[in-house]
Amino acid sequence: MAKLPAEPPLTIWALSDGRAGIEAQAVGLAEAVARHRKAKVIVKRIGWTGRIGRLPWWLNLFPRRWLTPESEFEAPWPDLLVAAGRATLPLAIRMRRWTGGKTFVVQIQDPRAPAGLFDLVVPPNHDRLKGDNIVSIIGAPHRVTPKKLTDEYKRFAATIDPLPHPRAAVLIGGRSKAFDLSPERAAAIAHEIQLPLEQEGGSLLMSFSRRTPPQARALLTARLKHLPGIIWDNEGDNPYFAFLAGADYILVTEDSANMATEAAGTGKPVFILKMDGQSLKFRLFHEELERHGAARPFGGAFHGWSYEPLAETDRAAKEILARMGAAKAG
């Protein structure tokens, strides 16, 4: 029997405005597709001239005209566009028209635009979107895989290996629409972390978001720097994934769906740290993580449990390929 011809490799653009948290979602989902079908992933970072980027998508009528030269958004077009963030909407919405439907367009998060403008929308479950071309997932797409964790840990093994167990990775976010991190709350978090690590003789692996308020960051660093471990100062190579790989427990502030979902992709116990503020969407998200068995509120003590690592990014990637295949066959 003659062999069927192999499917040609896909070209995938992972499109965002370059902000770390947004880009990680687009790249994570694009890489997941490439794990299931041979593909080349190209990271695209777009920027807008003047104040054009602040306009609603429907007012940006000729979007390619207003892109910065560094954006490099031009033909040849990809087979698959994975776009994330509000800045990409004017381009993603028009991509099917520009390519005659040859590019399959996937928008991550709630686009706050009619879902029919895209081939597929991949929002978090807590956005509560429904529709035929909507595939919602727990949290956000991400880049955490066993191979990624192993490879990243090797880069920092000489520094992390000597640290005593239990190791707690502490991922600190910051100010957002719903949350903040006041000095008072930062002090409370430092106290909650310090006591169990000192009692158990463990070590700290801490990193901060670009959104972490300077006062909170300085306070947490001052209160916890005496502990064995690493407090990353945003200088040099980023040990974020190595921290996830080397930790026994992972603590995440409640403001970040990205960090919590990435942590839940490890299969390790995830504790949620309280911040100032509240959000119904995030409460629903954390309840989902709890139902999956991944996360619990942090109560000032470490304890272990096991669960199946969250693999929602791969589920979404398989759905993309299935729908691309169906569209091609149709």
List, as own/partner pairs, every contact residues 146-152 make where C-beta atoms lie below 8 angstroms and the sequence separation is at least 24, other chains included.
148/241, 149/241, 149/244, 149/245, 149/266, 150/245, 152/239, 152/240, 152/241, 152/242, 152/245
Sequence-distant (6+) residues with CB within 8 A of 263 are: 169, 171, 244, 250, 252, 270, 294, 295
- Which structure tokens are listed for 99? 């390519």
In the chain, what are the domains?
10-138+313-329 (3.40.50), 146-297 (3.40.50.2000)
By CB atoms closer than 10 A (0-12, 13-18, 19+), residue 108 is buried
Average pLDDT value for residue range 110-129: 94
Average pLDDT value for residue range 170-199: 96
What is residue 58's predicted lDDT score, i.e. its pLDDT? Answer: 86
> Which H or E run contains 43?
strand 39-45
Please state the φ and ψ torsions of residue 121, each to the nearest 5 degrees.
Answer: -115, 135
What is residue 53's predicted lDDT score, i.e. its pLDDT? Answer: 86
CA 266, 185, 180, 237 torsion: positive or negative? negative
Do residues 264 and 310 make contact, with C-beta atoms less than 8 angstroms apart? yes
Residue 101 has pLDDT above 60, yes or no: yes
Q: How far apart are CA 279 and CA 130, in angstroms?
A: 21
Residue 1 has pLDDT above 60, yes or no: no
With pLDDT > 90 as the criterion, what percentage of the chain qualifies? 90
Q: Residue type for 75, please?
A: A
What is residue 236's predicted lDDT score, i.e. its pLDDT? Answer: 87
What is residue 5's predicted lDDT score, i.e. its pLDDT? Answer: 57
Average pLDDT value for residue range 259-282: 96
pTM listed for this prediction:
0.92
Residues facing 250 on adjacent strands: 169, 270
Please state the φ and ψ torsions of residue 314, each to the nearest 5 degrees.
Answer: -65, -35
Residue 328 has pLDDT above 90, yes or no: no
Quickly list DSSP for 161-220: TTSPSSEEEEEE----SSEE--HHHHHHHHHHHHHHHHHHT-EEEEEE-TTS-HHHHHHH
Residue 235 has pLDDT above 90, yes or no: no
The CA distances from residue 290 to 27, 186, 256, in Å, are: 26, 24, 15
Q: Residue type for 248, please?
A: D
**Closest to 92 in 3D by CA, of 13, 9, 11:** 13
- Which structure tokens are listed for 228? 């064995």
